[in-house]
Chain A
Amino acid sequence: NAGVTQTPKFQVLKTGQSMTLQCAQDMNHEYMSWYRQDPGMGLRLIHYSVGAGITDQGEVPNGYNVSRSTTEDFPLRLLSAAPSQTSVYFCASSRGTGGVRSGYTFGSGTRLTVV
Chain B
Amino acid sequence: GDSVTQMEGPVTLSEEAFLTINCTYTATGYPSLFWYVQYPGEGLQLLLKATKADDKGSNKGFEATYRKETTSFHLEKGSVQVSDSAVYFCALSEGPASKLTFGTGTRLQVTL
The reply to whether A106 and B99 contact each other, CB–CB distance below 8 Å, is: no
The reply to whether B105 and A42 contact each other, CB–CB distance below 8 Å, is: yes
The reply to whether B102 and A43 contact each other, CB–CB distance below 8 Å, is: yes
The reply to whether B45 and A33 contact each other, CB–CB distance below 8 Å, is: no
Residues 17-55 of B, flagged 1 when their CB comes within 8 A of A and 0 if not, give 000000000000000101010000011111001010000
CB < 8 Å: which of A50, A92, A108 contacts B97? A50
- Contact of A26 with B by CB under 8 A: no
- Contact of B61 with A by CB under 8 A: no
B residues in contact with A44, CB < 8 Å: 102
Separation in Å of the A38 CB from the closest CB of chain B? 10
Separation in Å of the A112 CB from the closest CB of chain B? 15
Category for how many chain A residues contact B: 20 to 34
The reply to whether B98 and A94 contact each other, CB–CB distance below 8 Å, is: yes
Looking at A60-68, A77-85, A96-104, the stretch in contact with chain B turns out to be A96-104
- Contact of B73 with A by CB under 8 A: no
Tell whether A56 pairs with B43 under 8 Å between CB atoms, given A42-B105, A43-B89.
Answer: no
- Contact of B93 with A by CB under 8 A: yes
Q: Which 5 A-B pairs have the closest CB atoms?
A: A103-B46, A100-B98, A106-B43, A42-B102, A42-B104
Chain A residues proximal to chain B, CB less than 8 Å: 4, 31, 33, 35, 40-45, 48, 50, 56, 58, 90, 92, 94, 97, 100-109
